[in-house]
């Protein structure tokens, strides 16, 4: 389909529109605002568990010293 000037509109497409770029950035921002805090919580939880495991490994329970 050609316009009044004799050009096919699909031939003039060279990139993305400003609206498409802005919508993409908004979507990335929303996903980041959800994912980053969740990642930080998981990272802190992993550090706490690693510290607890290190303490347990350094000072194991003395079950072998107990008498029946």
Q: So what's the pLDDT on residue 59?
A: 75
Residue 3 falls inside a structural domain:
no
Q: Give the model confidence (pLDDT) of 26-67 as tens digits.
A: 999 999 999 999 999 998 999 999 998 888 887 766 555 555
Q: So what's the pLDDT on residue 9?
A: 61
Residue 13 falls inside a structural domain:
no
Q: Which residues contact 9 (CB under 8 A, 6 or more apart)?
A: 1, 3
Query: Between vectors from CA 10 to CA 7 and to CA 12, what angle results, nearest 5°?
Result: 70
* Phi/psi at 33 (5° precision): -65, -20
Residue 41 falls inside a structural domain:
yes
From CA 52, how far away is CA 58, in angstroms rounded? 10
From CA 5, how far away is CA 3, in angstroms rounded? 5
Residue 40 falls inside a structural domain:
yes
Q: So what's the pLDDT on residue 33?
A: 94
Q: How many domains does the chain divide into? A: 1
Domain enclosing residue 36, as ranges: 20-56
Q: So what's the pLDDT on residue 68?
A: 53
Q: Give the model confidence (pLDDT) of 8-26 as tens digits.
A: 666 666 889 999 999 999 9
pTM of model > 0.85: no
Strand extents, DSSP E, the chain: none
């Amino acid at each position: 389909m050609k316009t009044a000037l004799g050009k096919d509109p699909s031939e003039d497409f060279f990139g993305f529109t400003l609206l498409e770029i802005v919508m993409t950035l908004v979507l990335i921002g929303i996903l980041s605002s959800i994912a980053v805090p969740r990642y930080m919580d998981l990272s802190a939880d992993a550090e706490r568990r690693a510290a607890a495991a290190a303490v347990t490994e350094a000072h194991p329970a003395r079950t072998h010293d107990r008498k029946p």
